[in-house]
Chain A
């Protein structure tokens, strides 16, 4: 039981008629990096805000660090660090004062805070900047200060809502290094993102779409469950025409998608057979293409497929 940091059961949030989060259930283990992946408006932020005790669920409940978010939101808050999407720092205070303020309101004493500030500054790469006014810092550094504030009181769980939005790639990498380090020390990290490539850093992910978790698991698990067969890829100078030609044969081929100059086919039947059909279709249309081969599905492929399948399933249900 103590190994479970977050346990959501049928968590739902409704705003009037709109269901932002639709009865989701999941578990996050201690020390795990758990990623919430989804487009804007999928319900990621609403979920995080419920888990942080900021919003009360309409129905269902979740245990965060062993406390119910419905009945003991104040106990929940004591155990977590939260970094919201927008900067939430005091521009007139310097780096040290901001960190010390946030640690202070979690009830940390002065001795602890004094010793902790150099530690967190080193962890997020803010050495030598303790006395800089936050208002004067560039965006990337502000993001680091926000993270430092969220972890200063050594929370058991940290919630990061789009921590890397608008951050350059080098800094994003650095952020993920910090997150992995925290998780290595036993901190549970719950993170939302809409960058597909970033989820590779997560131990487990949940794909959110219109308020629901439509897929959950480790990345290899998800890839395997979504794609029974490897994806077939070919590169061409005329991707649009190639796409049209293949799409016309999708009964025989499977799902076709276009990624720049690349065409992906998710085969319905076995790969050698599908490869043959692809070749003959493209040759028939007089399109030049590289030799099609088998490739690992990317998270983009996964996301597109999962959402498409989900929407198809929904339509079928409605048709019934």
Chain B
């Protein structure tokens, strides 16, 4: 059969766009997914799933019960990272019980002779017990505890030196002065919202696009379309455009809520942002079209998009789980996840002023290549479906 590559005719694309748009507006389920998903996901991720760990419940067993030990325990509370549970103060038994039923996450045990041992220049060992069933919280908590104890130990050392008649200035010490750039408070919202843009775009573009074509197969309208002069690319173009508009609307919602409500800074360049968003949209739409040309019905299309696009975008993109700490093989897999590049680019654009294509061209290139591959593959497969 002769190819029908010829020029695309906007006169034929317009009716497809119009029809698709009417379908979006009239299909209440799709519309709900498209407009509520960004809001629900924003609230879920920005409020419920926060990685900033504050006020870890702590039990304190102070066998020493001296001014020095009380001061140390007080430092834990003062740091803001811990909250001492009043119910299990000074009873190892109660503390262990509370740890088992998740009343507390950690226990600080101060040994009996701490202050006297220090006065006699003997080393002291403090016990910090953590609940390993909540590994994430506890490993961060142990880090905080170590820092608080080290600081207190340094203070005691300096006082001791001074009390022996030396001036504290005669002792040299190395002190770290940490300064976090671009997101000084390490707020996870700043880090989540760019990732959320990627997830929501995947959801809307891949899922809804895949459904729209499968629906045509189920309605038998596909064969009818094939008998008209409409070319496969015209069908695709007409179908894609309304969903691009929908995705862009969602992006505006996310950015508006993110910057105005959650105070996420947007320091970068809007044009770079727009370029990346469009590039990523092409990837996501291409994937959606590819899935829908393969899937025979709507259920399989939904499963396919969930497993093939949404899950990798959440798990393997660095959205939540750091890629650097994944096994090597999985790290290789992440190169195949378009969301990874988009998220890296977006975090950079959001948080770092003055960065543009000069820095991010690599990510842009990856997205472009993926987009071209997906769209070409789906166009080929799409044509076959019609034939």
Q: How far is the CB of A146 from chain B (nearest CB, A)?
A: 9
A74 touches B229 (CB 8 A): yes
B1-58 interface (Cβ within 8 A of A): 1-2, 4, 6, 9, 11-12, 14-16, 18-19, 22-23, 26-27
Per-position 1/0 for B214-246, Cβ under 8 A of A: 000001110111111111000000000000000
B22 touches A93 (CB 8 A): yes
Chain B interface residue number, banded: 20 to 34
With A92-B23, A92-B27: A106-B4 Cβ-Cβ less than 8 Å: no
With A71-B2, A87-B220: A101-B18 Cβ-Cβ less than 8 Å: yes
Chain A interface residue number, banded: 20 to 34
Is B185 on the interface with A (CB-CB < 8 A)? no
A84 touches B12 (CB 8 A): no
A86-141 interface (Cβ within 8 A of B): 86-93, 97, 100-102, 104-107, 109
Is A35 on the interface with B (CB-CB < 8 A)? no
Is A78 on the interface with B (CB-CB < 8 A)? yes
A92 touches B224 (CB 8 A): no
Per-position 1/0 for A64-78, Cβ under 8 A of B: 000000111110011
A88 touches B15 (CB 8 A): no
A91 vs B2: C-alpha distance when bound (angstroms): 33
A54 vs B383: C-alpha distance when bound (angstroms): 11
A72 vs B1: C-alpha distance when bound (angstroms): 8
Q: How far is the CB of B22 from chain A (nearest CB, A)?
A: 6
Is A52 on the interface with B (CB-CB < 8 A)? yes
A101 vs B226: C-alpha distance when bound (angstroms): 14
- Chain A residues within an 8 Å CB radius of B4: 73-74
Is A183 on the interface with B (CB-CB < 8 A)? no
A113 vs B376: C-alpha distance when bound (angstroms): 34
With A56-B387, A101-B18: A82-B6 Cβ-Cβ less than 8 Å: no
Closest to A83 in B: B224
A97 touches B22 (CB 8 A): yes
With A92-B27, A97-B22: A107-B1 Cβ-Cβ less than 8 Å: no
A36 vs B23: C-alpha distance when bound (angstroms): 36
Q: Which of A84, A89, A101, A106 contacts B229 (CB 8 A)?
A: A106
Q: Which of A52, A72, A87, A93 contacts B227 (CB 8 A)?
A: A52
B220 touches A84 (CB 8 A): yes
Is A211 on the interface with B (CB-CB < 8 A)? no
A-B contact pairs, 27 of them (CB 8 A): A53-B227, A54-B223, A54-B227, A54-B386, A71-B2, A72-B2, A74-B6, A74-B229, A74-B231, A77-B229, A84-B220, A88-B221, A90-B23, A91-B219, A92-B26, A92-B27, A93-B23, A97-B22, A100-B15, A101-B16, A104-B12, A104-B14, A104-B15, A105-B12, A105-B228, A105-B230, A107-B229
